[in-house]
Amino acid sequence: MIFAIEEINNSTELLPGIKLGYHIYDSCASVPVAVHVAFQISNGLDPVFYTDDNCSQSGMVMAVVGESGSTPSISMLRITGPFNIPQVSYFATCACLSNKQQYPNFFRTVPSDQFQADALAKLVKHFGWTWIGAVRSDSDYGNNGMASFLDAARKEGICVEYSESFYRTHPRSRIQKVADVIRRSTAMVVVAFAASGDMRLLLEELSLKPSPPRQWIGSEDWVTDTDMLRFSFCAGTIGFGIERSVIPGAADERVCDGTEDIKTLQSPYTDTSQLRITNMVLSQLKKVNFSRNGYDVSFDANGDPVASYELVNWQKSESGSIKLVTVGHYDASLPVGQKFRINRNLTWVDSGTQVRSTKTII
């Protein structure tokens, strides 16, 4: 966040003659904490940020960057909306947030899940899978995303054996139930529209008891999370991810506490090769249209950008580790028949051949 603000303040092109001040909060992925922050923002924060000669302006917030999750974003918008404070998210993808009647001050730099749901349905249809299972996070992200996918899947002639929901705070018995449904099912393909924090718990539960291998199809939140690659039994997973952007200077070489070398740390925050998610102000935001580092930024009437994704595949390397490989693209702005393309070979579950998942209805 600080890097992005410093890039703007040091640029002669983005906001010449203007320096941004900021106040950063950690919502801890918690709705109550996000709501608490929203009240603070709406109340105007401190009357003055700095008292020296360089900056003595009011601390009134002109815009908010965040939140990363759809549910916390919705909760914040209920509070900041009446004050016309623009809110720009880099990772809240719920299709419901495109509703300008409810969220007129919301914008995002990632596509709506409506596009991802359509893309996932076309992906499943492309490989001839007409009998699938479905699991989702029990949240705005998971429930709305899966609802859009199931609607698109029905239009493609895809049948769903089961549809289960779960959430990280649910009792373990709920997670076990979902895992057992997957183990007992006849569908060899499972579509998971879930947050990585939820999906991690489900995969940990599935790893405790061997079961027939499944072909996983993942939504962008977990399928591009490099921490999830440790689940080797999910090798062959495919799904869509937000397109990567190379940001010069984004690699952070500062240490955390004086002992670690951050260049040797492996986490989603230090892996700069996988950067996928990056009032008067409100009226100007609607007109934004620029390019930076090969990434186009603009908003349609719903506050959404043009929807484009990378098709990613979890492939085993020669060392046996799982790596994330881009094998294709999906661009919703292209004509029908040209939106979806695969330009590299995929590997499948158990490094075998493409699975079959169909069912004959008599």
- What is the pTM for the complete model shown? 0.82
Tens-place pLDDT, residues 170-213: 999 999 999 999 999 999 999 999 999 999 999 999 999 978 88
What letter represents residue 134's amino acid?
A
Quick one: fold of 1-110+246-292? Rossmann fold (3.40.50)
Q: Which two tokens stand for residue 142?
A: 């998971």
Distance of alpha carbon 15 from alpha carbon 8, whole angstroms: 7
Pairing status of strand 189-193 against strand 131-137: parallel
Tens-place pLDDT, residues 213-253: 899 999 999 999 999 999 999 999 999 998 877 777 766 55
Residues 6 or more apart whose Cβ sits within 8 Å of residue 112: 93, 94, 95, 97, 98, 302, 304, 307
Where along the chain do its domains lie?
Answer: 1-110+246-292, 113-244+306-342
- Start-to-end CA distance of the chain, whole Å, equals 57
Q: What value does the mean pLDDT of the chain take?
A: 86
Q: Which two tokens stand for residue 262?
A: 């951050």
φ, ψ (nearest 5 deg) of residue 322: -95, 135
Quick one: fold of 113-244+306-342? Rossmann fold (3.40.50)
From the list 301, 286, 280, the residue with the least C-alpha distance to 100 is 301
From the list 359, 352, 6, the residue with the least C-alpha distance to 160 is 359
Overall average pLDDT of the 102-114 stretch: 94
φ, ψ (nearest 5 deg) of residue 177: -60, -45
DSSP string, 183-224: HH-S-SEEEEE--HHHHHHHHHHHHTS-----EEEE-HHHHT
The answer to whether domain 1-110+246-292 and domain 113-244+306-342 are alike in fold is yes
Of the listed ranges 124-128, 188-192, 233-237, 254-258, the least confidently predicted one is 254-258
Say if CB 161 and CB 131 are below 8 A apart. yes
Is the sign of the CA dihedral 105, 83, 4, 117 positive or negative? negative
Distance of alpha carbon 103 from alpha carbon 100, whole angstroms: 5
pLDDT at residue 251, as a whole number: 61
